[in-house]
Structure 1
């Protein structure tokens, strides 16, 4: 099996260049991409002696149909990007479960908990076999730290507004 090209937002979170190179999957569900290798290839050889410092690990998770990625109310310390498959976003209601929507290839979910450190406002369940790219709190914070303070403020406002609207449904 080979890795497919990852969407731009995953490469950005992982600190990779915009160049994409298909590579075999690594052990333990991880893809090891080397930024330098993606940028500078010559006859299959990397032209850098400092390769170790530039390696980025992208954690992957495979979930089976019906398996929960996380449940409503749990603490959130990571977001997920759908590399392959589909995930349903489900909210508990007095009348049972309500399907809020689904997230397919290239979509991201679970990101709100990374922004405001609040519990998950809905559950995420695989609708089919799904491969996810994990975005850790550390990766997110590292990228957010470099963002303009205005953008960070807007993110917090957006998340607060979305949570308030969702609590009314």
Structure 2
């Protein structure tokens, strides 16, 4: 199957049955996948256990690191529903980046590298509540600074109270079940 994007490039689509492995941790890669329909699970092996990183559905992308870096796949992705995936090749990304602003061309590889570093830190410290709290706070702050000024107050009013409740619940859990 194929799909034509707005620039008239034909992009391959793959039908993937539930339970199928799409990519495996440690394999070589040169493309990413956009979930057109269905759902996939992204996970890594750590201490002989599956550590789930994400469940992704329509409109979400995985395998994107292979578009920028010549490194082994950092996670395994398995279809948890029958899925249709759009294949995004390195050439497709290169074509789009060539047409973009030079600042965007410089930022994309740097962001990918930071994502890899963050994933590694989370995997290696997955049981640490402090890293969870830091990650949640960093995500909130990152979203705040990227929103237009006119939306920041609304976002803060909608999210901050719930975020504070969540962090208080995490703190309470840590105090109740801490081994210290």
Q: What TM-score, normalized by structure 1, do the two folds share?
A: 0.66
The partner residue of 2:2 within 21, 27, 30 is 30
The match for 1:156 is 109
Q: Deviations over 1:17-66 (max 9, x none)?
A: xxxxxxxxxxxx224x496xxxxxxxxxxxxxxxxxx8532211011111
Deviations 1:144-165 (A, max 9, x none): 1122222122111111111112
Q: Which one has a bigger Cα radius of gyration?
A: 2
Mapped to 1, the partners of 2:34 and 2:118 lie a distance apart of: 24
Superposition deviation, residue 92 in structure 1: 1.0
Matched, 1:87 2:40: yes
| 3-state DSSP of counterpart to 2:97 | helix
Q: 1:41-80 residue pairs with structure 2 within 5 A?
A: 56-80=9-33
Q: Counterpart of 2:53?
A: 100
Runs of 4+ in structure 1 off by over 4 angstroms are none
The two structures, once aligned, show a CA RMSD in angstroms of 1.8
Q: Is the 8 Å Cα contact of residues 22 and 79 (structure 2) preserved in structure 1? A: yes
Gaps of 5+ in 1: 1-28, 36-53
Segments of 5+ residues of structure 2 without an aligned counterpart are: 124-180
The separation in 1 between residues aligned to 2:95 and 2:9, in whole angstroms, is 14
Q: For 2:30 and 2:5, how far apart are their aligned partners in 1?
A: 25
Query: 1:34, 1:150 → 2: CA distance?
Result: 24
Separation (CA, whole Å) in 1 of partners of 2:11 and 2:46:
35
Pairs aligned (count): 122
Q: Residues of 1 paired with 2:79 and 2:102: CA distance?
A: 35
Mapped partners of 1:34, 1:88: distance in 2: 26
1:136 aligns with 2:71: no
Q: Pick from 69, 74, 78: which aligns with 1:121?
A: 74
CA contact (8 A) 2:5 2:11 kept: no
Q: TM-score scaled to structure 2, two decimals?
A: 0.62
